Amino acid sequence: MATYHLRTPLSEEDVRRLRVGDIVYVTGIIVTARDSAHRRLLEIVESGGKPPIELRGGVIYHCGPVVEKTPTGWRVIAAGPTTSARMEIYEAEVIEKLGVRMIIGKGGMGEKTTRACREYGAVYTIFTGGAGALAANAIKEVVGVEWLDLGIPEALWIFRVEEFGPLLVAIDSYGRNIISENMARAREKRDQVVGRLVEIIKSKHNLRELGK
């Protein structure tokens, strides 16, 4: 479990050094995108257009922030991660076509993303789910916002961050995916755990025991 401090844009070398379980702090630019923004990014690429911000070597953050309008722009109030599973259908293509090097989210991602990370040199990291105030502390500036027509949570927010983390590498560029590996181990215990509970309920004796 090594700790890294990285600056954006990230190179392939930067992310190839990272292994699952490592901790990363990122300084530079990160861009939020949720379901609708992912869909729109891919539509743009398909029609031969350019996204509103360069994402080559970039960092995409699964996040719908709480923001406040100020006289000069925007202020971020809370900005923790959202569940990444919803972006699984888009992410492999986003990594491939847009050259994104790091995805930040929570809850884990699937096989397609894991394959894309290995093939194109990218990582999926998690920021502690629910830690919206901690995240906002590391966001120093709202550099811009695009696609506000999607609504505030779904828009593309461009943040300048300092030491954004701790980010834990959950999928590295070597095919490891610690959350799905861990969930597979948990599933193996399912029948035994359920069987034991059913026995406890079935047994009249234990019913009384439980009643004590």
Active site residue 38: yes
- Closest separation between CB of residue 203 and another protein, Å? 11
User: Which residue bears the tokens 């894991």?
Assistant: 114
Our finding on whether 153 is near ligand SF4 (CB under 6 A) is: no
- Closest separation between CB of residue 16 and another protein, Å? 21
Strands 123-127 and 139-146: unpaired
What b/e readout covers 147-156, taking b as 16+ CB neighbours within 10 angstroms? beebeeebbb
- Closest separation between CB of residue 64 and another protein, Å? 7
The CA R_g of the chain, rounded to the nearest whole Å, is 20
Q: Which two tokens stand for residue 137?
A: 């502390």
Chain residues in the site for another protein (CB under 8 A)? 1, 21, 23, 63-66, 68, 77-80, 82-83, 85, 106-108, 126, 128-137, 151-153, 166, 168, 170, 178-179, 182-183, 185-187, 189-190, 193-194, 196-198, 200-202, 207, 209-212
Among another protein, ligand SF4, none, partner that 197 touches (CB below 5 to 8 angstroms by kind): another protein
Spatial distance between the Cα atoms of 57 and 120, rounded to a whole number of angstroms: 11
Number of amino acids touching ligand SF4 (CB under 6 A): 3
- Catalytic one of 5, 38, 62, 205: 38
- Closest separation between CB of residue 129 and another protein, Å? 3
Spatial distance between the Cα atoms of 183 and 167, rounded to a whole number of angstroms: 20
**Site residues for ligand SF4, window 72-91 (CB under 6 A)?**
80
Give first-to-last CA distance, the chain, whole Å.
46
Total residue length of the chain = 212
C-beta atoms surrounding 165 within 10 Å: 22
**Site residues for ligand SF4, window 130-149 (CB under 6 A)?**
130
What is the binding site for ligand SF4 (CB under 6 A)? 80, 129-130
Catalytic center residues: 38
